[in-house]
Structure 1
C-alpha cells in the first residue's frame, strides 16, 4: 500500500517517487477537491506531498494522519527540482516520521510537531 500521495501540482513522472510507496493523485482522484484528497490520505494513513499551502495550513489545526510534506521551492525547472529534492529526500522522509508538517524550501527544511 502506498505511504505517500503526490498532489496533482507536482510532477507525475519523477524517478524518485516511482516506487510502490508513492501514488500520484492523477491515478486515483484526478479532479478531487482538497477535502476529498485529505480524507483519502487520512483514511489510508498516508502523507500528502504538495506545493499547495492549503494542506500545510490545514495540518496546523489537525493531528496526523495525514502528515504533510509541503514543497515550497518556487518555480524551478524539472532538472533543478529533481536536484534539490533528491539531495534532501532521505532527510525529509526521516523528518516526516517525527513531524506532522515538513516544509521544503530552496535552502532549508523546516518542521512542525
Structure 2
C-alpha cells in the first residue's frame, strides 16, 4: 500500500524508500506540476516528501490529506543527504503520524498540527 509520494527534487533510489509504501513522482510517467502532485497525493491520501517549500506553505491553511514532510536541509551531496535521512527517518515518520507537516532541518525536526 503506497503511503508516501517522493517529489522529483529528491532521489528515487534511496534504500529506505524502496518498498511498496513509496512512490516517486517519476513513476507516474511525466513531470508533474506541483498542483498535480498535490492533487494526486490528496486523492490517494499520501504524504508528500519534498524539498519544495510550496507544499509546506500550502498545507498550513489546509487539512490533510495530503500530509507533507519538508526536508529543509539545503544543498547536500547525495551521500550526506542519505546519511541525514537515514539517521532521522524513524523520528520523521513518527512525527508524521501525529502532524500534518513535518519540517526536517539539519539540526532538528519540527511538527505542525
Q: Give the TM-score taking structure 1 as reference length.
A: 0.97
Which residue does 2:25 correspond to in 1? 25
In the alignment, structure 2 segments of 5+ residues that lack a partner are none
**Count of residues in correspondence between the two structures:** 113
In the alignment, structure 1 segments of 5+ residues that lack a partner are none
Which residue does 1:83 correspond to in 2? 83
In the alignment, does 2:73 pair up with 1:73? yes
Please provide the CA RMSD for this pair: 0.8
1:25-104 paired onto structure 2 within 5 Å: 25-104=25-104
Q: 4+ residue runs of structure 1 moved beyond 4 angstroms?
A: none
Q: Give the TM-score taking structure 2 as reference length.
A: 0.97
Deviations 1:37-86 (CA, angstroms, capped at 9, x unpaired):
11110111100000000000000010000000000101111111111111
